[in-house]
């Protein structure tokens, strides 16, 4: 298994089915914090639910689709992650997503980890377009998209159901030439 260094001793590595107990414990810590911002199918309960989420991503990765990576602090604690929620090599596009429990906030880990995914998508896989979707009122997620050099392309009105209400969803994107031309 690979592991890539992030700042402050943190690491980025794949999340796999055998991480189900660790992932379930992490979701127990993060669930109420991330639930408004992350799709309902991702925020599961218990080890079986965590295993199911990891299984779905493993199957999608096996068919060259979505992928899931965990962010661990220097002590090895899983505090969040980044993912390709969609990955379509044939069309040259992908969508990134993230989640983070409070213990991992404020260190720039999601931005750095997302940048690694974008580098891989654009360089190793030759994709042309990467998207970032978030609720319009999720200022932290919008800030990550901005730091990644993405452009806000539009708002899908009332496209995000949560808690008995519908929320607007922002769509951000960066193209491969823009990513390569960004200041390092």
Q: pLDDT category, 40, cuts 50, 70, 90?
A: confident
| CATH, domain range 4-181 | 3.40.630.30
Task: Give the Cα separation of 45 and 31 in Å (integer).
Answer: 9
pLDDT at 1: 58
* 59-90 pLDDT, tens digit each: 999 999 999 999 999 999 999 999 999 999 99
- pLDDT at residue 160 is higher than 90: yes
Residue 86 and residue 65 in contact, taking contact as beta carbons nearer than 8 Å: yes
**Residue 181 pLDDT greater than 80, yes or no:** yes
Q: How confident is the model at residue 42 (pLDDT cuts 50, 70, 90)?
A: confident
Residue 184 has pLDDT above 80, yes or no: no
* Average pLDDT for the chain: 95
Mean pLDDT of 128-147: 97
Q: Could you give the CA distance from residue 32 to residue 28 in angstroms, rounded to a whole number?
A: 8
* CA 172 from centroid of its chain's CA atoms: 14
Is pLDDT at 136 greater than 80 in this prediction?
yes
Q: Rounded to whole angstroms, how far apart are CA atoms 19 and 100?
A: 17
CA distance 64 to 37: 26
Whole-model pTM: value is: 0.95
Contact at 8 Å (CB) between 38 and 160? Answer: no
Q: What band does 178 get if pLDDT is binned at 50, 70 and 90? A: very high
H helices present in the chain, as ranges: 20-34, 46-62, 109-119, 139-147, 176-181
Question: What integer pLDDT is reported at residue 183 of this predicted model?
Answer: 84
The per-residue pLDDT for 147 is: 97
d(C-alpha 6, C-alpha 73), whole Å: 9
């Amino acid at each position: 298994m690979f592991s890539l260094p992030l700042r402050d001793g943190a690491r980025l590595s794949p999340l796999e089915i055998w991480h189900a107990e660790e992932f379930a414990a992490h979701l127990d810590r993060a669930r109420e914090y991330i639930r408004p911002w992350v799709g309902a199918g991702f925020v599961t309960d218990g080890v079986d639910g965590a295993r199911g989420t990891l299984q779905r991503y493993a199957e999608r990765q096996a068919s060259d689709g979505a992928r899931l990576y965990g962010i661990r602090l220097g002590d090895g604690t899983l505090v969040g992650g980044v993912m390709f929620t969609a990955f379509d090599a044939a069309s040259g596009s992908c969508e990134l997503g993230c989640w983070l429990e409070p213990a991992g906030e404020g260190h720039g880990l999601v931005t750095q980890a997302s940048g690694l995914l974008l580098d891989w998508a654009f360089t190793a896989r030759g994709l042309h377009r990467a998207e970032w979707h978030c609720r319009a009122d999720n200022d932290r997620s919008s800030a990550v998209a901005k730091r990644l050099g993405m452009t806000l392309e539009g708002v899908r009105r009332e496209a995000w159901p949560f808690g008995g209400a519908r929320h607007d969803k922002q769509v951000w994107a960066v193209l491969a030439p823009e990513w390569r031309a960004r200041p390092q």
